[in-house]
Amino acid sequence: MDQSRNVDIEQKRIEKKMDSGMVASTFIKYAAYIIIFFGFLYFIIHYVFPMFR
């Protein structure tokens, strides 16, 4: 029972792929959300709240 074993070793190489275009578009999207949110708050504070005085 002294047989040599033939073992195949499976190698996996994991490469981290980063698409800079996707990152930039996501950043622009969330930056636009934040700008719209603060613009809405500005509108509420300066135009809607003074109407109740």
Q: State the total domains in the chain.
A: 1
Q: Could you tell me where the DSSP H helices lie in 6-50?
A: 20-43
pLDDT over threshold 80, residue 41: yes
In a domain, 25, yes or no: yes
State pLDDT tens for residues 13-38: 887 777 778 888 999 999 999 999 99
In a domain, 37, yes or no: yes
Q: For residue 14, report the phi and psi dihedrals to the nearest 5 degrees.
A: -105, 120
- Residue 44 or residue 52, greater confidence: 44
Q: What's the whole-model pTM score?
A: 0.58
Q: Residue 23: what residue type?
A: V
d(CA 26, CA 19): 11
In a domain, 35, yes or no: yes
In a domain, 14, yes or no: no
Which residue range is the domain that position 43 belongs to?
A: 20-52
In a domain, 32, yes or no: yes
Handedness of CA 21, 23, 27, 33 (dihedral sign): positive
In a domain, 43, yes or no: yes
